[in-house]
Amino acid sequence: MATSRSDIAVRAHTCHDRSVEAVIWIVLAIALAIGEAFTATLLIIFFAVGALAAGGAAALGAPLLVQVIVFAIVSGLSLVALRPIILRHARSALEAGETPIGLEAIEGSHATVLEEVGADHGMIKIDGEMWQARCFDGHEKYLPGERVRVLRVNGATAIVWRDDLPNI
């Protein structure tokens, strides 16, 4: 059995097709989104959006150069257009000039000491609610009836300091 020259020159099948490129872009997008979850910078997520768009281009059969261009353009546009909006909404209510709610509303408020507040124990009343409290520096003690100001909240414990300016 003799082989002819035309049989030898048969082109081998490629193991590469467009669906593999789409999967690679999608895996990259997922990896970037996971990376964003660990950094919380609101920067990497826009590259994940670009990778998803490039994956869509790959699934539609676009060549690799077009996929890279789609990735760059979508990443850049989403970064420039969406990041300022997201950061504006991520500011605290006080920074945004809005009425604070939740724990943010408690910080800076006045309270009345119900049980002596020290470094490791105490109870205060903030707007009718009882809260565990600790003094800020660990050395002060506030007696029942004294007014204090909430500096911050750690979990369910208010960190307080003497309220020298009672009506501010």
Model confidence over 90-136: pLDDT tens digits? 655 555 566 655 666 677 788 999 999 988 889 999 888 899 999 88
When pLDDT is cut at 50, 70 and 90, the band that residue 48 belongs to is very high
Q: How far is CA 81 from CA 37, 47, 84, in A?
A: 21, 13, 7
Class for domain 103-162, per CATH? Answer: mainly beta
d(CA 149, CA 158): 9
Q: Does 137 have pLDDT greater than 90?
A: no
Q: Where are the alpha helices (DSSP H) in the chain?
A: 5-8, 18-39, 44-59, 64-90, 93-96, 103-106
Ranges in the chain annotated CATH 2.40.50.140: 103-162
CB neighbours of residue 137 within 10 Å = 9
pLDDT of res. 65: 95
Q: Which residue has the higher pLDDT, 81 or 90?
A: 81
Q: Which of 155, 147, 154, 157 lies closest to 109 in space, CA to CA? A: 147
Tokens of residue 92, six digits: 């605290």
d(CA 124, CA 147): 9
